[in-house]
Homo-oligomer: A and B are copies of this chain.
Amino acid sequence: DFEKALEEVKPAFGAATDSLKSYCMHGIVNCGETFDHLQQTLRTLVNQVQVSEKTPLLTCLLEGPSGSGKSALAASVALESDFPFIKVISSENMVGFSEQAKSSQITKVFEDAYRSPLSVIILDDIERLLEYVSIGPRFSNIVLQTLLVLVKKMPKDGKKLLVIGTTSQGDVLESMGLSEVFNVSLHVPALRVEEIVRVVRSLEVFGLRDIPEAVEALTSTASKLVPIKKLLLWIELAKQGLAEDQKIPIPRWKQVLSDLS
């Protein structure tokens, strides 16, 4: 049974790395201090799990608005940890599963982790795993109870585990008592004006002089706070039909913002 278990663990590992990379599809752009500090804190946790005997389990929740970069952040830290067992639990791989099947799948990943000396599990988009919808509200209590127990359950026999969860419904998880079972809770914000400037500058998509007007156009159409994922998408749409190294003209940028945002 142990040999079979090992077999099951190995191939999962390779696939996980691929899938982790796809979470950072647009790379990790330098967004400034806030993001650096978040990354640093996560690295501290990785380290702590690895070295301390008295903390066989550490759990951290990344919470912030939709598209703020939570999944990419979790994935990038997990990738650089080089732990022998890394796995993402995502609803994308469980479409159409029954609540019970989701619960079993999640449990199976944790049990695999308990057999590896050093593991990272990413619980991505926890509100989706919970099948949460605010009308009602409705959600899978079976999956919720599974998470409430597993996020607190210590690995035995010196095995070690880091759990990173992501959610854009921090207050909902709070009211379910799920935030509370995580050791640490970190807020991943959308970009503020200074950070937007920094990002568009490093991407070199606007003429240098156009940047203030481009950012002004953006924050006045949408809102003061812009998630990095949306910013990158709008830039992509605005670049349609332009040559590789051509800058985005301001009128075109405004057109895209008014039509598509």
Interface positions of A (Cβ within 8 A of B) = 22, 25-26, 41, 44, 47-48, 51-52, 54-55, 66, 91-92, 95-96, 100, 103-104, 107, 128, 131, 133-135, 137-139, 141-142, 144-146, 148-150, 152-154, 156, 175-177, 180, 183-184, 233, 236-237, 239-241, 259-261
Contacts of A51 in B (CB 8 A): 240-241
Q: How many Å from the CB of A55 to the closest CB on chain B?
A: 5
**Are B237 and A149 within 8 A (Cβ)?**
no
The residue among A41, A103, A148 with the most chain B CB atoms within 10 A of its own CB is A148
Q: How many Å from the CB of A121 to the closest CB on chain B?
A: 14
List the 6 closest pairs (A to B, CB-CB), nearest first.
A131-B145, A184-B260, A96-B103, A91-B149, A54-B236, A92-B153
Contacts of A22 in B (CB 8 A): 154, 156
Given contacts A52-B240, A134-B175, A135-B176, 6 further A-B contacts (CB under 8 A): A44-B259, A52-B236, A92-B152, A92-B153, A95-B153, A96-B107
The residue among A41, A131, A138, A149 with the most chain B CB atoms within 10 A of its own CB is A149
Contacts of A148 in B (CB 8 A): 128
Known contacts A26-B54, A134-B177: A146-B96 contact under CB 8 Å: yes
Q: How many copies does the complex hold?
A: 6
Residue of B nearest to A172 (CB): B135
Q: How many Å from the CB of A145 to the closest CB on chain B?
A: 5
Partner of A233, one of B55, B145, B260, B261: B55
Q: How far is the CA of A145 from the CA of B99 in the complex (A)?
A: 12
Known contacts A41-B259, A237-B48, A260-B41: A150-B95 contact under CB 8 Å: yes
The 7 listed contacts between A and B (C-beta, < 8 Å) are A48-B237, A51-B240, A91-B145, A95-B149, A96-B103, A96-B142, A128-B149
Q: How far is the CA of A52 from the CA of B95 in the complex (A)?
A: 27
Contacts of A149 in B (CB 8 A): 91-92, 95, 128
